Structure 1
Amino acid sequence: MFDDSVRDECGIAVAAYLGHEAGGLETADPVDAARLIPGMLLDIQNRGQLAAGISTFSPERRPLIRTHKELGAVSEVFKLADKVANKALMQRLAGTIAIGHTRYSTCGADDVSYAQPLERVHGKPFKWFSFCFNGNVANHQQLAGKLVSEMGYHLTRPDSDTELFMHYLAFQQRGQRKANWRKALGALCRVIDGAWSLALINAAGDLVVARDPVGIKPLCYGFRDGYLLAASESIALQNMGVRDIVDVAPGTALIVEQGRLRVERFVPERRPAHCFFEWVYFANVASTIESQSVYAARARLGVALAELESETVTPDHIVVPVPDTSKAAGDAFAYTLGLPSIEGLVRNRYVGRTFIETDDRAAKVRRKFVALRGILQGRKIFLVDDSIVRSTTLAYLIDYMREEGGAAEVHVRIACPPIMAPCFYGIDMSTIGELFAPRFTDKPTLQGELPAETRRAMADAIGADSLNYLPVDKVASAIGLPQRSLCMACVSRKYPTPMGRQLFRQAQANVEAGITGGRTTMIANHCG
């Protein structure tokens, strides 16, 4: 996706030494947890490049919890290019439990104070904790208002979901006796509406790794050499040598107390609502989520898209996937039609994110991609992308392929249905007005293709010769899960939580009232 790319909020990683309970060996180092985190975060840095951090627990040092976090990529934050600096940092962070985080916020400041993990210091060890999470609190505004006006709290970062989460977690630990984690998480779910995966350590040596009640955000775990390892994506565990990887069930938590692990359900089982966009775009292509391979799902999306093709294929046609997340779908699309899939667009992987953040979209296209004229000139291109959100940058990319690449025709094929509604669960598309597809159609087409005249108008708007999307009813079978177990709210307008439905009604009201810009909230801006 290069259409003003949407951003997921973050990724989490966990390492906790459990010894023989986790298949530990006598040679395993019990204080090596911190050294495992940077590599795991590197594998899920597709989820966030703005900031990274780590918190560790060790009973052998005065600060029982120690936190390190900075703005920048994982390699920068953990000094991976400087062996001496990295070694010193890892020694300082040595401990038996570590949690890590990589952030790409949907909003909130690009400031280190928003980086995670977020530590809350307290004199009582069970009330002193650090935590990180991946997700979004949909009812942020209501909860923030309650904290301030009814409970007497002060929010130093009022737009931060993380600080909001911290206060509600701390509230569950009020009193002189440590709360039961299962009951605390259950109470939290009665208050918070949204999507989240959570990792928390406290200064008593507890670890909590939990997933929201409907499992919108992914989370998995496994064991290696005495360590419990958990992460937002399986690739982080696979590359650590974990072979038996288990998805954390929605509404359940891994809880470690006094070195013993248990898995507990903290809310009654509900119908799951896994974010389908993980398979379409967000997740690392090598990951597996809910036992479904991301690569295989994207390939099947490409096959399904090809089976709809009405364009007469000639020897002049080639398929060009938009790098990098569209490659699996593009290759499968090409194979199904008997066409070559060619890297006609080469991505410049050495241009940093900050360098390409510019309002000049034409310059952004040229800095990020090179159109290979020797490949594209005179050819009819099937340009395969994973989705269209806003369309503005895609239009520049098509123009660039014609002018610089010499493409004779550009036919855009999208391996995803039209994005018809905002996401309130952690993807930075919060208003209907910013979206491309609702400008051309009033409601989702839940079965079959969009009408031909609608697709023609869309293609004209972005300067393409033609445009087609994958229908909504083709997605679930390509992913390999029942449609009823997926959150597809952004394409179907059917939200899995009460606040999601309420916010969508507000988004529609904003459109009718001519309110544009900002984010859809009941009162004001939010997110973390």
Structure 2
Amino acid sequence: MTLTTNPFDDDKLREECGVFGIWGADNAASFVALGLHALQHRGQEAAGITTFDGRHFHSHRAMGHVAGNFDRDDIIRKLAGRAGIGHVRYSTTGETALRNVQPLFAELAEGGFAVAHNGNLSNAMKVRRTLNRRGSIFQSTSDTEVIIHLVATSARSGTLDRLTDALKQVEGAYSLVVLTDEGLVACRDPLGIRPLVMGKLGEATIFASETVALDVIGANFIRDVEPGELILVNDSGIRSFRPFQQVEPRPCIFEHVYFSRPDSIAEGISVYEVRKNIGAELSRESPIDADYVVPVPDSGVPAAIGFSQASGIPFELGIIRSHYVGRTFIQPSQDVRHMGVKLKHNANSALVDGKSIVLIDDSIVRGTTSVKIVQMMRDAGAREVHMRIASPPTRHSCFYGVDTPERAKLLAAQMNVDQMRDYINADSLAFISIEGLYRALGQERNNALPQRCDACFTGAYPTTLTDVADKERAASLSLVASR
């Protein structure tokens, strides 16, 4: 029997992917591998690298982590070239299989085309059906492959124009790095939902999902790739294009709450500082009298520090996380299955026994994690267990590249806060307000036109959800037909 040993991670929203691209560096694959290491938190399911040596493309894709797959000299040597792109994956569309691991590559009429995608296309199924009827044969179940077929069938000339034509036919979220014979292309959807940054290392130009990937290779951050911008880098230099109609950007607000590493700079703002601000806002909105502020490791730590500093309640590590436990292990008997919970997280009983504690976590999704944590604290002798959540209630699914349960499985979509408190068996429960979350970012929310994509909290989706609407329409017709 196999038991997952990350019981406090199985109820988190999962980021979908991380991308990295570099042009103009000797042994580019080594830099890509290092960049992907820094982005591993964005996807642990699979990883891949494609390079270009000026004549040929070289690829290696594998299931699992970057370490173990791309720290071998024999693999890196085979990925020759001064240009490369890479991808770490947590699937949001498509099955868990090697054929869906990116970068995806195809030999098109105008040359090789490799693409790595962070995001999700919300009309991919509709576009795919149209392409199927025209004769396109898909090799994967990933929405990203739609882009390749749209490029391949475009009537435009030149890779950049064909890519632009393709992207004008899709909706949703995408930050892409594309490697072609003509150069490296980086682009971001007009709303800028998913992040993408640009850096320099000597003469080399780099693109990555987060600034930490620049840090790890010693590159300098230049700027964000702007929403709706395409950047082409080749031996002739760097050129920027803006082929899309300009709209008000809506970057994902959850990048600041959970997805990005705390040592990243997102949109010019320190993610760590924002998370501390969130904790401070939370303490002002929902004060509590307690002995200790205890973070749910590791994502709850910065918000817990902010809560502690603003409230004056001491910060303590009431839950200790082991960093030396693998993802799975083999149990000899189902009778001891429950012991796996304590392999990765264990209560600091000497600290919490007899105390009133306030637990800080980043979110509640299904609620299963919160139930386990609260019970762990009670078993350790805590007198009172209060929970404060560093994001508003997650009431809606994400369709822009974040793996969220369907709405019927989101606890906040089925219960009010009092019911949720009873469900997790806490003495009190409170979430930061949507207004407080924006204040932590230094903004006031514009209710008529929110400055960020906060749809998972508010249901205010910034794009048309074609595939969702088609699915709901089909389900409705099926229900009527069955009556």
TM-score when scaled to structure 2? 0.90
| Secondary structure of residue in 2 paired with 1:222 | strand
Equivalent residues of 1:424, 1:430 under 8 A apart: no
Q: Deviations over 1:272-291 (max 9, x none)?
A: 01000000000010001111
For 1:12-411, list aligned pairs within 5 A: 12-17=19-24, 30-59=25-54, 64-78=56-70, 80=71, 86-122=72-108, 124=109, 126-149=110-133, 151-157=134-140, 159-172=141-154, 178-179=157-158, 181=160, 183-202=161-180, 204-311=181-288, 313-314=289-290, 317-355=291-329, 362=338, 365-403=341-379, 405-411=380-386
Going from structure 1 to structure 2, the CA distance change for 1:263 and 1:363 (only over 3 Å counts) comes to farther
The residue matched to 1:74 in structure 2 has which SS?
A: coil
Q: 1:147 to 1:505 in 2, by over 3 A?
A: closer
> Residues 46 and 72 (structure 1 numbering): CA distance in 2 closer, same or farther, change over 3 Å?
same
**Residues 305 and 137 (structure 1), Cα distance of their counterparts in 2 relative to 1, 3 Å cut:** same
Tell me the CA shift for residue 96 of structure 1: 1.3
> What RMSD over aligned residues (CA atoms) do the two structures have, in Å?
2.6
Output the CA distance in 2 between the equivalents of 1:276 and 1:376: 33
Asked if structure 2 preserves the Cα contact closer than 8 Å seen for 1:432 and 1:507, the reply is no
CA distance in 1, matches of 2:330, 2:352: 24
1:266 is paired with a residue whose SS is coil
- Displacement of 1:72: 1.3
DSSP-derived class of the 2:67 partner: helix
Letter in 2 for 1:366: K
User: Contact (CA 8 Å) 2:193, 2:249: kept in 1 or not?
Assistant: yes
One-letter code aligned to 1:349: H
Counterpart CA distance in 2 for 1:108 and 1:471 is 34
Q: Which amino acid aligns with 1:369?
A: H
Deviation at 1:110, TM superposition (A): 2.3
CA distance in 1, matches of 2:405, 2:125: 14
The residue identity in structure 2 corresponding to 1:14 is G
> Are residues 164 and 505 of structure 1, via their aligned partners in 2, closer, same or farther at CA, if it must alter by over 3 Å?
closer
Aligned to 1:487: 453
Equivalent position of 1:438 in the other structure: 413
* Corresponding position: 1:471 with 2:471: no
- Residue 449 of structure 1 is matched in structure 2 by none
Distance 1:399 1:273 in 2: 38
**Residues 226 and 481 of structure 1: CA distance in aligned 2, closer, same or farther (over 3 Å):** farther
Please say if residues 255 and 263 of structure 1, whose CA atoms lie closer than 8 Å, have aligned partners that are also in contact.
Answer: yes
Give the AA of the match of 1:437: A
Q: What are the residue-to-residue correspondences of 1:508-523 with 2, within 5 Å?
A: none
CA contact (8 A) 2:58 2:80 kept: no
Give the drift of 1:5: 1.6
Residues 96-146 of structure 1 deviation map (CA, whole Å, 9 limit, x = unaligned): 111011111124322222111111124x5x332111111111112211111
The 1:11–1:422 alpha-carbon spacing in structure 2 relative to 1, beyond 3 Å, is: same
The one-character-per-residue Cα deviations of 1:2-61 (angstroms, maximum 9, x if unpaired) are 4612211110011111xxxxxxxxxxxx432111111111111110111111110112x6
Shift in Å, 1:180:
5.3
Q: How far apart in 1 are the matches of 2:50 and 2:337?
A: 38
For 2:454 and 2:119, how far apart are their aligned partners in 1? 16
Write the distance in 2 (CA, Å) between the matches of 1:234 and 1:66: 26
TM-score by length of 1: 0.83
1:308 is displaced (CA, Å) by: 1.7
Of 462, 468, 483, 1:503 maps to 468
How far apart in 2 are the matches of 1:353 and 1:427? 21
Matched AA of 1:68: H
**SS at 2:194 equivalent:** coil
Percent identical pairs in the alignment equals: 35
Contact 1:361–1:393 at 8 Å: present in 2 too?
no
Native 8 Å contact 1:361 1:396 kept in 2: no
Would the aligned equivalents of 2:214 and 2:221 in 1 still touch at CA under 8 Å?
A: no
1:413-471 CA distance string (max 9 Å, x none)? 0011001111100111252101011112xxxxxxxxxxxxx432211011111100001
Aligned to 1:145, what secondary structure does the other structure show?
Answer: helix
- Residue identity in the other structure for 1:136: N
**Residues in 2 aligned to 1:387 and 1:96: alpha-carbon distance in whole angstroms:** 41
**Structure 1 stretches of 5 or more lacking a match?**
18-29, 81-85, 441-453, 515-528
Counterpart in the other structure of 2:422: 460
**Cα offset, 1:325, TM superposition:** 1.2
Give, in whole Å, the separation in 2 of the partners of 1:348 and 1:164.
41
Change beyond 3 A, Cα 1:354–1:304: same
Which blocks of at least 5 consecutive residues in structure 2 are unaligned?
Answer: 1-7
